[in-house]
Chains A and B, each alone.
Chain A
């Protein structure tokens, strides 16, 4: 089963964060990504830049970020393949983002199945 982890946290906190703290969080993400890889569940994952650099596109036009969607914004993702939902939730709970903000776990919809 494939799951997408959508990582939400307060992206503005990154701007004002001290370097040491930022490095600590980067370190935690690196260790987490390695743990996913070591277990063979990691498919891909990337961090995203601040939403002020994002664009929203609709048929009638383009909107510049940032988007006023509340305190926590999408800041990254992981795509994993695990045996079942319980395992996905266990991995999501280990993600540093689960302590910093929250992780949304979404099963990938296999249209072919």
Chain B
């Protein structure tokens, strides 16, 4: 994508998100607001890259959507009739575009409503991607391995729930903010994780939502600049994204220890370090900051030839204390093995509940690696088998098969 095109698309998405936040928080009807703005947004995506971004993007979108917004109430036979509340909100939005200030940004309300406890956790990320960024359901579906029709239906249901249950559109403060922020962070991180396995695939662009997720994380730090975990999440994502080009070589999977660091994006790493430094200043450690610190240590190890194995073990220990997820525990085991503490690592894996790791590919890959280090070649062989059978990504599968062959059984 050319820069002009990328800027035009990003501006269109940002303006769309701001308008949708404005209209739906006043009309309390996300679906109707989307319906009203949808055609205008598609027209903007089509024409702005050619004609350039208009001086007031929101005013342009409102003008293009005018008939649907203002006259909607009169068109009795339309599928979703614009409500009086929506019409009124549109008129207010028009006045806001005339003021010589930037259009008000209420996207924080959208982020919070998408991750509201009343909304099913599995649909929070898709809902966020659709409402805040205007991504279409088919693209979201492909990243989440759901059929496009099923994804559309789930999104429609979630929006209906917001309307029927009258979930309030507000950005929480104080105690509420602390209670509800983790769900927002989790939903943003899930967008980043979706498609991670497919980055080298033929349909990589379809699956890869990392750019969109980075935008959401950056937006969150802009809208909530005093939240340490927001900066932690942003830092974690920047570090991971900075290594993107080094993770594959001609389609083959390359483990972190073998990355060609010349292919790392140093500017993005510096950006990630700055975000982490900003997070630490609040002195409120949390899981995302710790995970970012782990990635930061990995980067330092390779770039400055430092031994960070002990440091990473300590960080993981802290992580599993505050957030004992399966992923964190498997990461902890990997860190212990890297620090020549493979026996402890295996013991840790053995304590994890079998039902939760049965189909978790990373568990079997790490377990195989640890067993190999302990010289338990036959057990390592069957653990590699298990990891191979659960792999979705062809490059990861091939890498594991080479490791298994390397056992020489």
Q: With A24-B398, A93-B145, A93-B392 in contact, is A34–B385 under 8 Å at CB?
A: yes
Q: A77: CB under 8 A from chain B?
A: no
Give min CB distance, B356 to chain A, whole Å: 13
Chain B residues with Cβ below 8 Å from A39 are 358-359
Q: Which B residue's beta carbon lies closest to that of A95?
A: B392
Give min CB distance, A108 to chain B, whole Å: 17
- Quick one: CB contact mask for A83-113 with B, threshold 8 Å, 1 for yes? 0011001100110101100000000000000
Residue pair B386, A35 in contact (C-beta under 8 Å): yes
Residue pair B145, A94 in contact (C-beta under 8 Å): no
Q: With A39-B358, A90-B145, A93-B392 in contact, is A85–B385 under 8 Å at CB?
A: no
Considering only residues 7-40 of chain A, those with a C-beta below 8 Å from chain B are 24, 27-28, 30-36, 38-39
Give min CB distance, A112 to chain B, whole Å: 25
Tell me how many residue pairs across A and B have CB atoms closer than 8 Å.
Answer: 50
Give min CB distance, B297 to chain A, whole Å: 32
Chain A residues with Cβ below 8 Å from B358 are 38-39
Residue pair A94, B146 in contact (C-beta under 8 Å): no
Q: Is the interface of B mostly helix, strand, loop or mixed?
A: helix
Task: Provide the bound-state CA to CA distance between A85 and B254, in Å.
Answer: 33
Residue pair A38, B386 in contact (C-beta under 8 Å): yes
Number of interface residues of B (CB under 8 A): 20
Chain A contact residues (Cβ within 8 angstroms of B): what range? Answer: 20 to 34
Considering only residues 352-403 of chain B, those with a C-beta below 8 Å from chain A are 358-359, 385-386, 388-394, 397-398, 401
Residue pair A94, B401 in contact (C-beta under 8 Å): no
Residue pair B390, A89 in contact (C-beta under 8 Å): no
Q: Which of B147, B386, B394 contacts A34 (CB 8 A)?
A: B386
Give min CB distance, B132 to chain A, whole Å: 24
Chain B residues with Cβ below 8 Å from A90 are 145
Residue pair B401, A27 in contact (C-beta under 8 Å): yes
Q: Which A residue's beta carbon lies closest to that of B389?
A: A35
Considering only residues 186-203 of chain B, those with a C-beta below 8 Å from chain A are 201
Considering only residues 148-187 of chain B, those with a C-beta below 8 Å from chain A are 150
Chain B residues with Cβ below 8 Å from A24 are 398, 401
Give min CB distance, A72 to chain B, whole Å: 13
Q: Which of A85, A94, A98 contacts B390 (CB 8 A)?
A: A94
Q: Which A residue's beta carbon lies closest to that of B402?
A: A24
Chain B residues with Cβ below 8 Å from A35 are 359, 386, 389-390
Give min CB distance, B357 to chain A, whole Å: 11
**Residues of B with Cβ closer than 8 Å to A?**
145-147, 150, 201, 358-359, 385-386, 388-394, 397-398, 401, 404
Across chains A and B, which 5 residue pairs bring their CB atoms closest together, nearest first? A35-B389, A31-B389, A99-B394, A31-B388, A32-B389
Given contacts A36-B389, A38-B386, 19 further A-B contacts (CB under 8 A): A24-B398, A27-B388, A27-B401, A28-B388, A30-B385, A31-B385, A31-B386, A32-B388, A34-B389, A39-B358, A85-B147, A85-B150, A89-B145, A89-B146, A93-B145, A94-B392, A98-B392, A99-B201, A99-B393
What are 5 pairs between A and B in contact, CB < 8 Å?
A34-B389, A38-B389, A89-B146, A94-B389, A99-B397
